[in-house]
Each structure stands twice: as structure tokens, then as C-alpha cells.
Amino acid sequence: MVERTLIILKPDCVQRRLVGRIIQRFEDKGLVLAGMKLMRIMPELAERHYAPHKGKPFFPGLIEYITSGPVVVMVLAGARAIAVCRKLMGKTFGFEAEPGSIRGDFGISMTYNLVHGSDSPESAAGEIALYFTPGELLDFTTADADWLGRPNEV
């Protein structure tokens, strides 16, 4: 079954010029880009995205961080995309993340953690809808789909 997930390469990732290296990790694993854009998240959108955390002590800092600079927002597709992406990202805080994961290799901060990924099919559906219209997402077959053991259509 093909699954879609939202990934945000956060302001620290963009500022550190790690975008290409991190996208490459997702693609190397066999995931496919279904949509992508460079944008700046405005506070209103950030508050909607992080609404489940409203009222928590870290909420204001989270909103300030995600709106502090450009981000790359993308939808990745593939078999078990959500679990695969979360494993590739590593634990939330870079100093706890395993070497080989994105956060384990590129992060050490408790504040700046480089990347966001949806944590469930329900959150993925809601988060994708915040950033993309259905017409902005593409379905296509990749030439290597059979070789990667994934369904042909993404």
C-alpha cells in the first residue's frame, strides 16, 4: 500500500544548506516526491499546524522557530512512508538520535531539529491538506519501482 506523509525541512535545515543532502536520504531509501515547495510559514498557518501543542510551554518558541525563515515542504510517498521517514529522521533531539539518522548526523540541539514528519496517517492527511491542494500533488510511476519492491504507482 502506498502511503503519503508530510515532511518539512525546517529553517535551520535550509539555513545550513542541508536540503539536498536530506532529500537525497529519503530518495535513496526509495521514497518518491509527490509534491514540494519552498515557502515561508506564516504564524497563522504555524498555529494551525501545531494546534495540538497549543497551551504547552514550548508552543510560542515552536511558532517563532518554524516561522523564522524559509522551509521546504514536501509530500513523500511509498510503502510505509510515515514509519520509514520517522526512522530516517531519528529521535526528536539530535543529541539522542542514532548516528545514521538525519538528526543523529546533523543535529545536536534541543530547539533546532531540522525536520518535521507526520506521525500517523491521520496527521499526515491533515498536515498535507494545510500545505498542498490535491492538484499540486502528482501521481506517477518511477522507472525503478519494481526494483525497489514498491507498488508501481505513487
Q: Which residues are catalytic?
A: 116
Residue closest to 99 by CA, chosen among 149, 55, 108, 119: 108
Q: Strand ranges (DSSP E) for 51-94?
A: 71-79
Q: Which three cell numbers stand for residue 67?
A: 516561522
Q: Are the C-beta atoms of residues 3 and 82 closer than 8 Å to each other?
A: yes
Residue with cell 507498488: 151
